Amino acid sequence: MKKNNIIKLILIIVVVALLVVLPLVIKNDSTINLVILVLLYILLASSWNILGGYTGQTNLGHAAFFGVGSLTTRLLWVNGVPFLLSFLAGGVVAVILALIIGAPAFKLRGVYFAIGTLALAQMLNLTVGNILPEMSYNPDLANYQLLPRYYLFLGLTLITILTAAILVKSRIGLGMMAVREGEDAAESLGISALKHKLIALSISAFFAGMAGAAFAYYHVSFYYYMPFGSEWTFDPMMMAYIGGTGTIIGPIIGAVFFVLLKQLLVWNVGEYHLIIFGTLFILIVLFLPGGLVEIWQKFRTFLTKKTKRRKKVLLKATIQNEDGIQRE
């Protein structure tokens, strides 16, 4: 077990180190852009996963938080507020929105919650489009540099993943998962479901908002309503499911897989890329319901079973089976 953890730690450090030096080695904007895109989606998928995967509330309105974060940051920044301040404001405003809508939204359960949040995001999308139909431009296009943007995304992504990892190992995390497994039972054991859902929503919204803020900093020009589009909910959600919800690594794998596969298809297959992508996607959902993580888990249990069986055989040879209970 311990050895396993050390290997894991080393692996993580290597990957992070690689990501840190990547832009210094590969001075290639297109690659950096692609990695930024992957990081952005890891951020979104991981933050979605905190509420959707760990707390069991299928949120179809994640775009609302991404959008609000992005809108706030961009508006403030374009209007001359120092960037760092505008940047943090993005996350804060997303949390405020989460707290405002949280209490009524969590009155809804199951499909109602899902479609309710979808409607909410759609509403914001339309309203922002109505109030702010203008295109906005990056205030300092002249000095546009990709590198700081890259590190911003990288840092933010690492913080999100770390937060999620710490969270799910904590008492609150345990409570969140208990709420997912069964709200009635969780409450009867002293857990306030509403409180835990709100905490999960706030954290989820915060990182989605920060992702939006970083997006506002990154994107040279966009319409204010653009980050509210439903694809900002559905893509990350699909990534989380493809990778495996309720795990830390799932959304990461999902995002990498999703973005790279899609880009590869765009670049190589041409006009049929979306048809092929859709088909692959359906096959994954149907035949790997636990996500890509499941492949790994199956592989691992297969391995451990094999070693266990070998050990068992050895044991049998020496001592008689101590308990008669058969359990295969």
Partner 1 sequence: MQLLTVEKLCKSFGGLKAINNLDFHVNEGEIVGIIGPNGSGKTTSLNLLTGFLKPNSGRINFRGEEIGGLPRHIVCQKGIARTFQLCKPFMDFTAMQNVMVARAYGRKPSANLHIAEKESIDILEQVGLGSKAGILVKDLRVMERKRLELARALATKPYLLLLDELMAGLNLTEADEACKLINQIRESNITIIMVEHIVKAVTCVSDRIIVFNMGEKIAEGQPEEIVHNPKVIEVYLGKSHA
Partner 2 sequence: MLQSLGQNLVFGLLVGALYGLVALGLSLIFGVTKFLNVAHGELVMFGGYASFYAFSMLGLDPFLSIPLTIIILFVLGAILYRLVFSRTIKLPEESKIKNTLLVAFGLSVIFQNLALRFFTADERGITTSYFSQAFTLGGVRFPLPKVAILVVTVIFLIILQLILKKTYTGKAIRATTQNWEAASLMGIDIHKVYLLSFAMGAALAGVAGTLVAVNYSIQPSMGLGWTMKALIVMVLGGLGNIPGTIIGGLILGLTESTTSFFISSNYREVAGLVLFLLVLIFRPQGLFGSKEA
Partner 3 sequence: TPAPTPTPVATQAPLETQAPTATEVQYPPAPEYIEIGASIPLTGKFGSLGSQVKVGYDYAIADINADGGVYVAEYGTKIPLRLTAYDDESDPTKAVSNLEKVFTENNVVAYLGGAASGMHAATTAIAEKNKVPYLGVSFAWWNIHQRGYKYLFSPFPKSPDQARDVFKALNELVPTKEERPTNIAIFQEKTDWGNELGGLFKADAGPAGYTVAYYAEYAPGTTDFSTLIMEAQAANADMLLGMPNTPDGIAIVKQAAELGWEPKFIMLVRAPDAATWGEATGTAGDSVTMFAGWHSGENFDGIAEINAKHQTDFSRPADILVGPAYACVQILAAGIEKAGTLDRDAIRDAIAATEMMTVMGNVSFNADGTGNVLNPLVQWQDGKMELVWPADQKTADFVYPIP
Q: For binding to partner 2 (CB under 8 A), which residues are involved?
A: 58, 104, 107-112, 115-116, 118-120, 122-123, 126-127, 130, 230, 234, 238, 241, 271-272, 274-275, 277-279, 281-282, 285-286, 289
- C-beta atoms surrounding 252 within 10 Å: 25
Q: Give CA 188 to chain center in angstroms.
A: 30
- Least Cα distance to 205 among 31, 72, 16, 44 occurs for 44
Closer CB to partner 3, 172 or 273, in the complex: 273
Q: How far apart are CA 2 and CA 260, in angstroms?
A: 33
What is the closest distance, in whole angstroms, from the C-beta atom of residue 37 to partner 3 in the complex?
A: 6
Figure out which of the listed residues 28, 31, 127, 170 binds partner 1, where binding follows CB under 8 A. 170
Figure out which of the listed residues 181, 295, 304, 316 binds partner 1, where binding follows CB under 8 A. 181
DSSP class of residue 222 equals E
Q: How far apart are CA 94 and CA 59, in angstroms?
A: 15
Binding mask 186-205 for partner 1 (x = CB under 8 A): xxxxxxxx------------
Q: How far apart are CA 118 and CA 96, in angstroms?
A: 18
Q: Does 3 bind partner 1 (CB under 8 A)?
A: no
Closer CB to partner 2, 47 or 117, in the complex: 117
281 binds, among partner 1, partner 3, partner 2, none (CB under 5 to 8 A by kind): partner 2
Backbone angles phi, psi at 289, to 5 degrees: -60, -25
Q: Does 277 bind partner 3 (CB under 8 A)?
A: no
| Alpha carbons within 13 A on the beta-carbon side of 89 | 16
Q: How far apart are CA 272 and CA 266, in angstroms?
A: 8
**In DSSP terms, which residues pair with 135 in a beta bridge?**
223
109 binds, among partner 2, partner 1, partner 3, none (CB under 5 to 8 A by kind): partner 2
Closer CB to partner 2, 52 or 90, in the complex: 52
Q: Does 185 bind partner 1 (CB under 8 A)?
A: yes
What is the closest distance, in whole angstroms, from the C-beta atom of residue 155 to partner 1 in the complex?
A: 29
What is the closest distance, in whole angstroms, from the C-beta atom of residue 28 to partner 2 in the complex?
A: 30
309 binds, among partner 2, partner 1, partner 3, none (CB under 5 to 8 A by kind): none
DSSP class of residue 151 equals H
From the list 89-97, 157-165, 174-182, 271-279, the region that binds partner 1 by CB under 8 A is 174-182
3-state percent helix, strand, coil for the chain, nearest multiple of 5: 80, 0, 20
Start-to-end C-alpha separation, the chain: 24
Binding mask 138-167 for partner 3 (x = CB under 8 A): x--x--x-----------------------
Contact 59, 204 (CB under 8 A): yes
Q: How far from 327 is each of 56, 100, 222, 259, 312, CA to CA, in Å?
A: 32, 51, 60, 43, 13
Site residues for partner 1 per CB under 8 A: 169-171, 174-175, 177-178, 181-182, 184-193
| Residues within the interface to partner 3 (CB under 8 A) | 28-31, 33-34, 37, 126, 129-130, 133-135, 137-138, 141, 144, 219-223, 226, 231, 263, 266-267, 270-271, 273-274
